[in-house]
Amino acid sequence: MILESTDLQNDIRAGVREVCSRFDLDYWKQSHEEGTHPTEFVKAMSDAGWLGALIPEEYGGSGLGFTEGAIILEEVNRSGGNSNQVHAQMYTMGALLRHGSEEQKRKYLPKIANGSLRLQTFAVTEPDAGTDTTKIKTFAVKKGDRYIINGQKIFISRFNNTDLMLLLARTTPLDQVQKKTHGISLFLIDTREVGKGIEATKISTMLGGDTNQLFFNDLEVPEECLIGEEGRGLYCVMDGMVAERILVSGSALGNGKWFIDQAVKYANERVVFDRPIGKNQGIQFPIAKAYMELRSAEALMYEAATKFDNNMPAGAEANMAKYLCSEAAYDAAEACMQTHGGYAAANEYHINRKWMQARMMKIAPISSNLILSYVGQHVLKMPRSY
């Protein structure tokens, strides 16, 4: 149980808040409305060392734990920003760190840590596979010392604002593997060198930002791009899922706290029928309820992060924390939106933009249903539901 933050954690909060204070709500509104990447923000976070925080010191990072990683992302969202623009770098590098060769780690990690290389894209989702990653069809064929890759990915974030991309592709067809999780490989691809091998078309989403459909047309990459053993790629990323769940929990928590702050302020200020609207139980109670939900979700997030940082099994806690933090943050978003009445629809109040972020966190990167099925099957030992 976390009763008090450490001095280090307080310093991290203060440091991240200082960077975020340079990017006000209108900066994020403009980025959202114009669909532009917040390049200046990403650079400022990188320059301050926050994006390399989880990379071990021997590779140029700060060697911090996932508790601190979650706090960094929480503070970004609590300031009204969008941590989605930076979170991938923090969790995807784990696959490289744990499964990359020493040569790969020395080549990439120090540059990722100092911000001269961006690892912001992780390409998994495909139109026909959806959440069932074992059904991906993007295929990499080995020819001599190169792989030739063909296929299609969908909803791939930040492809136009990264230097490196982690890609999951099949190297053995599904009908030729003993276990469906076998035969998938992980590649680290330098997107600056792909030329016409990858065609990206932008997908316009309610979140703004850089989301893409990718078509791989005989993309040739050197065999050195393979991370870990051929055919074991899914396992390379699966052990990073716990880390991802913890970091996403921090992001959701930050959103939730931002909504509570805004809702309380507005409920106290807005006077209708000669009294602050916060005097009405219909306004006050949903905010109080969402606040309590957030506090309990936060406790589970710290439990998950503490276990993970101490090399203890944390899959159950991390999944449950992700579920509870994103659900509680959405409840806070709903309460905040209702509190603002018609003004919630006005873009200048920023509520609707943040509400969309909170809503999407119940779906991506993993949906609430899939976590419920994980808990039902793996924690409570009920039959697999799918």
Ligand X SMILES: Cc1cc2nc3c(=O)[nH]c(=O)nc-3n(C[C@H](O)[C@H](O)[C@H](O)COP(=O)(O)OP(=O)(O)OC[C@H]3O[C@@H](n4cnc5c(N)ncnc54)[C@H](O)[C@@H]3O)c2cc1C
Site string for ligand X, 244-283 (x = CB under 6 A): ----------------------------------------
Scanning 38-46, 124-132, 186-194, 310-318 for contacts with ligand X by CB under 6 A, the matching segment is 124-132
Question: Is residue 123 involved in binding ligand X (CB under 6 A)?
Answer: yes
* C-alpha distances out from residue 188 to 6, 115, 180, 223, Å: 36, 17, 22, 10
316 versus 370: smaller Cβ distance to ligand X: 370
Question: Is residue 130 involved in binding ligand X (CB under 6 A)?
Answer: yes
User: Which of 28, 50, 122, 147 touches ligand X by CB under 6 A?
Assistant: 122
CA–CA distance, 383 with 386 (Å, rounded to integer): 9
DSSP label of 181: T
CA–CA distance, 250 with 245 (Å, rounded to integer): 9
Q: How many residues does the chain have?
A: 386
User: Which of 39, 101, 116, 131 touches ligand X by CB under 6 A?
Assistant: 131
Give residue 44's identity as a one-letter amino acid code. Answer: A
CA–CA distance, 74 with 329 (Å, rounded to integer): 12
The encoded tokens of residue 24 equal 């006000």
Question: Is residue 216 involved in binding ligand X (CB under 6 A)?
Answer: no
- Of the candidates 152, 168, 291, 280, the one whose C-alpha atom is nearest the C-alpha of residue 235 is 168
Binding residues among 11-50 for ligand X as defined by CB under 6 A: none
Strand partners, 215: 152, 199
Residue nearest to ligand X (CB): 130
Please report how close the Cβ of residue 88 comes to ligand X at its closest, in angstroms. 7
Question: Is residue 124 involved in binding ligand X (CB under 6 A)?
Answer: yes
Q: Which residues contact 383 (CB under 8 A, 6 or more apart)?
A: 377
Please report how close the Cβ of residue 102 comes to ligand X at its closest, in angstroms. 27
Contact 309, 66 (CB under 8 A): yes
Question: Is residue 152 involved in binding ligand X (CB under 6 A)?
Answer: no
Scanning 216-224, 265-273, 328-336, 364-372 for contacts with ligand X by CB under 6 A, the matching segment is 364-372
Scanning 15-23, 67-75, 222-230, 363-371 for contacts with ligand X by CB under 6 A, the matching segment is 363-371
Question: Is residue 361 involved in binding ligand X (CB under 6 A)?
Answer: no
Please report how close the Cβ of residue 363 comes to ligand X at its closest, in angstroms. 6
Please report how close the Cβ of residue 187 comes to ligand X at its closest, in angstroms. 14
Burial call 342-369: b when 16+ CB within 10 Å, e when fewer: eebeeeebbbbbbbbbbbbbbeebbbbe
DSSP string over 236-276: HHHHHHHHHHHHHHHHHHHHHHHHHHHHHHHHHH-EETTEE
Please report how close the Cβ of residue 251 comes to ligand X at its closest, in angstroms. 13
User: Which of 174, 177, 207, 316 touches ligand X by CB under 6 A?
Assistant: 207
- Of the candidates 145, 46, 66, 21, the one whose C-alpha atom is nearest the C-alpha of residue 322 is 66
Question: Is residue 211 involved in binding ligand X (CB under 6 A)?
Answer: yes
Question: Is residue 134 involved in binding ligand X (CB under 6 A)?
Answer: no
Asked whether the CA dihedral 82, 83, 86, 92 is positive or negative, the reply is negative
Please report how close the Cβ of residue 323 comes to ligand X at its closest, in angstroms. 12
Asked whether the CA dihedral 264, 270, 276, 281 is positive or negative, the reply is negative
Question: Is residue 160 involved in binding ligand X (CB under 6 A)?
Answer: no
How far is it between the farthest Cα atoms of the chain? 78
Scanning 25-33, 110-118, 205-213, 245-253 for contacts with ligand X by CB under 6 A, the matching segment is 205-213
Scanning 118-126, 184-192, 227-235, 293-301 for contacts with ligand X by CB under 6 A, the matching segment is 118-126
Question: Is residue 364 involved in binding ligand X (CB under 6 A)?
Answer: yes
Question: Is residue 222 involved in binding ligand X (CB under 6 A)?
Answer: no
The encoded tokens of residue 386 equal 């799918």
Question: Is residue 365 involved in binding ligand X (CB under 6 A)?
Answer: yes
User: Which of 5, 62, 134, 369 touches ligand X by CB under 6 A?
Assistant: 369
Question: Is residue 205 involved in binding ligand X (CB under 6 A)?
Answer: yes
Secondary structure class of 124 (helix, strand, coil): coil
- Binding positions for ligand X, rule: CB under 6 A: 122-125, 130-131, 155-157, 205, 207, 211, 360, 363-365, 367, 369-370, 373, 385-386
